[in-house]
Amino acid sequence: MGNFHLEEKIIEIVERALVEDIGSGDVTTMAVIGDEGIEAEAEFVSKDEGVVAGIDVVWFVFRALDPSLNFIPFLSDGDEVKKGDIIGIVKGDVRSILTVERTALNFLQRMSGIATLTRKFVKAVEGTKAKITDTRKTAPGLRLIDKLAVEIGGGVNHRFGLYDMILIKDNHIAIAGGVEKAIERCLRFIKEKNLDLKIEVEAQSVEDVEKILKVGGVDRILLDNFNIDDLKRAVDLIGERFEVEASGGITLENVREVAETGVDYISVGMLTHSVRALDISLEIKV
């Protein structure tokens, strides 16, 4: 994985997941297996077609519970998988394998589902300049994992939280008394605090875009729930002055048409908020 701070954060997420699932102990495994130190081998088998994501995370799961477990992946993050493919195997104490099975699968299935859907959107806009990006509509506590899966699927990450980018939305604009005042306040805030932050501002109509262009000072304009004709008009108005992002009501059926309007980014909430987990099982060989 290579990024020490990223690894630290993933380990924290993994450890929380293990505590949540195991609690005071795996009573079923303790009852059935007891203290017998039985060595076993289990296979991660795909029962679906898609994109694998979460291999590194699964490795952290096994290491966190029992460092003696030997996880051998046959595929890498981003590889495409077919029904019946073996993604990897784990060898070691059967008690540890049974105890960690669900946590490992939860990460692998969810991340692979996100990567699979992201890859479909990315392929749908091939040949355009549009990049598929995620949102903050992630599972609480799993944002890093969810966004990592989007990257593995070929998408790009939007802001990670409220702290790393200014995004002026409709409620901010209403409270500020207009988009002009909202932008001016954000520019002043950045200057006073000596911050290095990009500013994105939401527009809900072509008229909003015209107001934003008069004020300037932003890095990206978010065109929210625009129809195709208005998207084209807005993109033509903005030109090369600012980055352009489209959002709202994006599906696999319409994403190509949205991309062909010339937007730079298309944000898709469904990548993470309503993902279908890839069907993967862990089968112990007996």
**Residue 4 above 70 pLDDT?**
no
pTM over 0.85: yes
Of the candidates 167, 160, 165, 207, the one whose C-alpha atom is nearest the C-alpha of residue 183 is 167
Residue 50 DSSP SS3: strand
Catalytic-labelled residue, pool 9, 63, 91, 102: 102
- pLDDT value at 60 more than 70: yes
Q: For residue 3, what are the contacts with CB-CB under 8 A and spacing of at least 6?
A: none
pLDDT of residue 57: 97
Q: What is the mean pLDDT of residues 37-50?
A: 96
Separation CA 29–CA 64 (nearest Å) = 18
Per the annotation, the verdict on 9 as an active-site residue is no
**The one catalytic residue among 91, 137, 198, 256:** 137
In the set 169, 198, 256, 276, the catalytic residue is: 169
Mean pLDDT of all residues in 57-66:
96
Q: What pLDDT score does 9 carry? A: 94
Distance, C-alpha 244 to centroid of its chain: 20
pLDDT of residue 36: 81
Is 169 labeled as catalytic in the residue annotation? yes
Q: How many CA atoms lie within 13 A of 61 on its CB side?
A: 25
Residues 138-181: tens digit of each pLDDT: 999 999 999 999 999 999 999 999 999 999 999 999 999 999 99
Quickly count: other Cβ atoms within 10 Å of residue 117's Cβ. Answer: 26
**For the chain, what is the radius of gyration of the CA atoms?**
23
Reply yes or no on whether 137 is catalytic: yes
Biggest CA–CA distance in the chain, Å, is: 74
Distance of CA 216 to the CA centre of its chain: 30
pLDDT > 90 in the chain, percent: 95
**Catalytic-role residue among 202, 208, 245, 264:** 202
pLDDT tens digit string along 5-42? 889 999 999 999 999 999 999 999 999 998 888 999 99
Residue among 134, 224, 245, 264 flagged as catalytic: 224
The H or E element that residue 137 is part of is none
